[in-house]
Amino acid sequence: MVVIAVAGGLGDLGHLITNALLETGKHEVYVMSRKTVEDDTGRISPLTGERYFPVIQTDYSSEDRLSEHLTEHHIQVVICAFIMDNDSVSDAQLRLIRAAEKSPCVRRFIPTEFNVEYDSGDDILPYPKKRFHRLARRELEDKTRTLEYAYVYPGMFMDYFGLPRVESVLRPLCFFVDPAHVQAVLPTGAGEAKMSMTFTTDFARYLALALDLESWPRVLSTATSTVTLNELVRLAEKNLGRPLNVRYQPLEALLQHTGVDLPANLQIAAERWTERGGLEQLRALIADLEASVALGAYDLTQLTGHMDLVKTFDGKAPEPKRIEDLLEEAWGSRFLQSS
């Protein structure tokens, strides 16, 4: 039972993490946010039995002020759940790490990671924004002395393969298979590349359970399914009851961001990405992630020296969602009935 602050806890993934922590009924949980929250009636602390107000409003501009916030609220664990895609957000996390190090009460820190091994080279993980995560790693590894920290690897978030037909905090993106349009595009020669995955709700639950561990290894993993790209295609076909139109493109096209656009991504770009760079930016993101899968970055079965939280908490958490379950839920009989 500890006092926890989730930085970015009002965001999509941050909100899910916050809810998972609250569901344990063990912790006093705060969210740190730039947003102003009105009409907050507060929560009852399971630690003290008293009412507390769970939103710590901050703009992340002052390291000293952040440290004061953490100390004033007796925060023991900080979990960062930012969307790590620009220098401003990266700087905010670095200031938060330094503030946690300064605070006399903070003992543990989880940085925004929630993917795969960001220290991999471009030959494995050709993802430019990994530089932001590396900056946080170097801050924790080289400059902190009192904080225990860990990196959490869910692999790919499984939700993407069921959107928009499964409930999820994620916004739609389409990788490799486009069941709604009965299509797939795979990198040439990469059909046996493996991809490890976790559904977001399961990821958040395992992260919450990890707070019960007496100590953390450097890496915690939560992957509940690992399939090859060929297996992913076969599972989609099984649930659709018909073959996908499978095309292939060279890995080099992905690396150069000139790959084939799945129809679903054309729709997503037009409807949701007009203020985020449009199709060009969406295509670049999809290409970087698909190339990383093809090159092996998302195969968490190759990890060593880590703790598999799925095995560690087997029987202590709800049965996690597997990729077979998700594809059946999204694209099985219910999809056929509505097509």
- 88-147 confidence digits (pLDDT tens): 999 999 999 999 999 999 999 999 999 999 999 999 999 999 999 999 999 999 999 999
What pLDDT was estimated at residue 1?
87
DSSP code for 86: S
Q: What is the CA radius of gyration of the chain?
A: 20
What pLDDT was estimated at residue 69?
96
Contact present, 223 and 310 (Cβ < 8 Å): yes
What pLDDT was estimated at residue 334?
55
What pLDDT was estimated at residue 228?
98
What pLDDT was estimated at residue 335?
53
Summary mean pLDDT of the chain:
94
- How far is the C-alpha of 110 from the C-alpha of 156, rounded, in Å? 18
High-pLDDT (> 90) share of the chain, %: 90
Contact present, 261 and 279 (Cβ < 8 Å): yes
- 208-241 confidence digits (pLDDT tens): 999 999 999 999 999 999 999 999 999 999 999 9
- 306 contacts: CB under 8 Å, gap ≥ 6: 153, 217, 218, 219, 220, 221
DSSP code for 45: -
* C-alpha pair distances (Å), 262 with each of 76, 121, 248, 281, 282: 45, 27, 12, 14, 11
pLDDT above 60 for 49: yes
End-to-end CA distance of the chain: 48
* C-alpha pair distances (Å), 226 with each of 222, 278, 290: 11, 31, 15
Q: Which residue has the tokens 């992260």?
A: 207
- How far is the C-alpha of 216 from the C-alpha of 322, rounded, in Å? 25
- Domains of the chain in start order, with CATH, are 3-149 (3.40.50.720), 156-196+225-299+319-338 (3.90.25)
